[in-house]
Structure 1
């Protein structure tokens, strides 16, 4: 209906795969490079993960197009199979005949013979498994045994596993540690950033015949925010936006029209947040249900139950509580899981292999790793991942959420516990990692070369910190602003260079009154796992 109205020759946002609409963002190209490197390296397994709709199929299609001509390829689309059925499906994909009645040994021998023949003929054999998060552990172990077949310099079979983030968790199981060690290349595909969303929309519109921009810059920003940068969701929203603009007789699509289209296409309303997420579900409903949409809702969300345990100062009145605490402690030994929880405290849902300092700047945060005491952390006043060591040598990673009145709220795994500060100091391991919010531009340095927005942000922040009047229309990093920065740096014991570097910006943000997570304020934590028969629930107040 809208094609003639916008002078289009085709539907630019159809979710059906069409090679002419293939857009390779920088991240997709990087993912492809990682996969090709892993295959050329001769390893057994290569891994590609990403949220639903981020473009894993796009990357796999490009991978197949760039394979050498001497490669035999099998592609498995439905891996939810038993071990025997999986081997049979692989044989079928390679057009191999196998003895009847079917047995595991016969299938394995058939594949072994085929792989040897292929290698002797100078050919390579590649198996690609999509939706690999549905693979059963015993099937994955059988696949690992297939990759045991090798020569002195190469594997007879290489396997590419493509799946959602749950695949990363699956491969962390102790049973699959040998397979995990054989992954020679892995890449987690993140959603598109704002610039890529703009380029993606322009590219598809131009391929469909559009000569003029239809989506305004404000619409692109709203699209990035509401889609989470996921191409499939972008297509859904843009398709509905074009239809809505046609119905309204609008030749340009602005942010209001785009927001309405997003609501109609996905059910997600625009709350006005300016933050993106590391990974977003297809319609964002899961994050909303869990209370993780953004920090603008803080203070509104209900407080989850807190489990109080006074270890090791006094024995809790409930022995079951102590046993449960010990079980939780035993499972809190992964730093990436604790970092994932810290991102959730800030309102972002990070995939487990992206829950690191490296990903922070993508969501306008900065990540700092420090060594110091609990008192040092309290001066910073930010929630942090802390490395704790118990008397028996067990190492624990927890998120310190709140400290007051001799008590500290911790996130251990997915549960929230209240412990004594005395116990926390005893097991303190010195190291901690915290996040803080960068200026709107995401820049970590503001100097004379910075833009007007950064300069005005700095003028407001440093003036408020020094209790001086804020100049509302300052447009450049002038001598007066330089003097204010130096005065603040002197007050904080920093190098007085008049340039707002990362340490200066951090101190300014710490002293601001912005509603961000603080150790001295209540922070909504992820909903806790509780069992009324074992856990003493004390409600939201501690």
Structure 2
């Protein structure tokens, strides 16, 4: 209806899964990578979960287009089946003939077993993928687990991918399914789009539909993201209704007022963001704010702060920080770095940035800062949310109900856990993202995730909010307590020294040969030569020079040997002890 009005070739925001409109965010690419890994892993279960409308089916369709030639896939879309129906459907998908009147599980198991062995002998991998798997019964899931018992001496004959809503995680946490849960080799939880991704998503769909110019104003995009929660399906529904409303009012841009109406009509909700507001409400806050602003301006001028404030624009923030934050409070990065709709909001943004920078020079108590970090979120008192965010940086999907101890859970992925009391200097040496414990007089204890150290500032994540703040401002809140994860070499359990043997020694001697060109013989024995080299390495990297291979020495080696592990990206650091 509105296509000609906006110059569109077709409607951009339908909910039909048109592959031409596929938008692969970083989250969707990660999810696809997990599925592709699962197909090639050779046995076990791979789990992909996500809220309704986050794009799980989109990822599945993308996977189907990228299947290796040696894969034979059984794709089940309707999981509300009993065990017999499931086996029959698998036979249908794999082209196995059977008697339609057959009702014996043994017969179906034998048929499937023969086909799996035939595929294996031909060098083919067989994959069972079940969508909407949260609807599976416990009995059917147990039957699926039994199918993974079909194996040779080298590998399992069937790889299974389960895709479903978050309830699937709860289902698999049941005691009677613990054997299945132990066979899950990879998990990924697909999260909604961030604010920047929502903006890119809207622009992408409009571009495919034939319009290159901006259609949605900056604040309208923020409201769409807030109302939809970043869920692509809801973004489509709200955006389609908003464009229809703009067409009805002969508006060539979609503004906040139009999106407010669309949200109310689509979701039955009223939002609290307004573009202009009523004249009465405007002056209720405008006059006091003007007086306060004038007072602050005079004070800032008298202390020489005004020039600094004007000279510090939002464009001076590092570009990569602008992509971190999903939502914003007074202290969030996103408020200063997200650039949308600049054409029609430039004068407002100029005043906002100047005022924000003046306010930044006014000291805030630790409790006030902490409240800004969390906004309307529930504070993380136990550290469970921080552990979830930290493990996500390692590519591990962790939900607290899976295991109350994040360290024990991380061990399943070959990760060790390091925790205790420390300072910024040692954290920068280890160069690992870490969970930090904070406390304030009013707010009590809470946890956050340290993502980056940059000069005298740090990037922290509190729940879903990411913020940049000077270390001197966060120091009064930090208790010094930390927790981080690190990658263990194969075979490592406890610190080892002279005389030890094992896979971890081979890992160390291989690194020595790679980095120094020194051949260690035999390579599986911790000799005095190895101890001497390690002691010198420890001294050069600020560790206790004891010649014993422990977790901190391993972290330092991994900094050089493992470029893919998450790091703090410490640059130009001037450490305050």
Map Cα deviations across residues 232-287 of structure 1 (whole Å, 9 max, x no partner).
0000000001100000111011222112212211122213499859xxxxxxxxxx
1:138 aligns to what?
139
How far did 1:207 drift? 0.4
Which SS does the other structure have where 2:187 is aligned? Answer: strand
Corresponding residue SS for 1:192:
coil
Q: How far apart in 1 are the matches of 2:39 and 2:11?
A: 36
C-alpha spacing 1:54/1:356, structure 2 compared with 1 (3 Å): farther
Instruction: Provide the secondary structure at the position in 1 that maps to 2:6.
Output: coil
Does the aligned pair in 1 maintain the 2:87–2:108 contact within 8 Å? yes
2-side partners of 1:27 and 1:220: how far apart? 20
- Deviation of 1:140 after TM superposition, in Å, equals 0.9
TM score, norm. by length of structure 1: 0.56
Structure 1: 5+ residue stretches without partners: 278-293, 299-333, 341-349, 359-368, 385-432, 451-457, 459-498, 511-542
* Partner Cα separation in structure 1 for residue 155 and residue 376 of structure 2: 54
Deviations 1:390-419 (A, max 9, x none): xxxxxxxxxxxxxxxxxxxxxxxxxxxxxx
Partner of 1:226: 227
- The aligned counterpart of 2:3 is 3
Partner of 2:22: 22
- The 1:19/1:379 distance shift into structure 2, 3 A limit, reads closer
The residue number in structure 1 matching 2:69 is 69
Structure-1 residue corresponding to 2:92:
92
- Counterpart CA distance in 2 for 1:118 and 1:51 is 35
Q: How many residues align?
A: 339
**SS of structure 2 residue aligned to 1:201:** helix
Please show how residues 57-456 of structure 1 align to structure 2 within 5 Å. Answer: 57-99=57-99, 100-272=101-273, 336=384, 379-382=440-443, 434=447
Q: 1:275 to 1:103 in 2, by over 3 A?
A: same
Distance 2:92 2:217 in 1: 50
Q: Secondary structure at the match of 2:168?
A: helix
Change (3 A) 1:138 1:509: same
How many angstroms apart in 2 are the aligned matches of 1:297 and 1:166? 22
- Residue 73 of structure 2 contacts residue 126 of structure 2 at CA under 8 Å; is this kept in 1? yes
Q: Which has the higher helix share?
A: 2
Q: Secondary structure at the match of 1:49?
A: strand
Residue 212 of structure 1 and its aligned partner are, at CA, apart by 0.7
Aligned-partner Cα distance in 2 for 1:245–1:509: 49
- Residue 380 to residue 149, structure 1, CA distance change in 2 (3 Å): farther
Q: CA deviation at 1:86?
A: 1.4
- Taking the aligned partners of 1:94 and 1:186, their CA distance within structure 2 comes to 26
Question: Who is 2:571 aligned against?
Answer: none
Q: CA 1:96–1:35 in 2, change beyond 3 Å: closer, same or farther?
A: same
Of residues 445, 452, 470, the one that matches 1:501 is 470
Aligned residues of 1:43 and 1:183 also touching (Cα < 8 A):
no
Closer, same or farther: CA 169–24 of 1 in aligned 2, 3 Å: same
Change (3 A) 1:151 1:169: same
**Cα distance 1:506–1:7, how it changes in 2: closer, same or farther (>3 A)?**
farther
CA distance in 2, matches of 1:370, 1:380: 22
**Matches of 2:201 and 2:222, distance apart in 1:** 13
Q: Which fold has the larger relative contact order, with Cα–Cα distance below 8 Å and residues 6 or more apart in sequence?
A: 1
Q: Is the 8 A contact 1:382 1:434 kept in 2?
A: no
Could you tell me how far apart the structure 2 residues matched to 1:69 and 1:94 are? 15
Rounded Cα–Cα distance in structure 1 between residues aligned with 2:454 and 2:117:
58
Distance 1:120 1:15, change over 3 A: same
Q: Map Cα deviations across residues 62-112 of structure 1 (whole Å, 9 max, x no partner).
A: 111111112111111111221122112211222322244321111111111
Summarize the Cα distance change of 1:296–1:101 in structure 2 as closer, same or farther, 3 Å threshold: closer
What is the TM-score normalised by the length of structure 2?
0.53
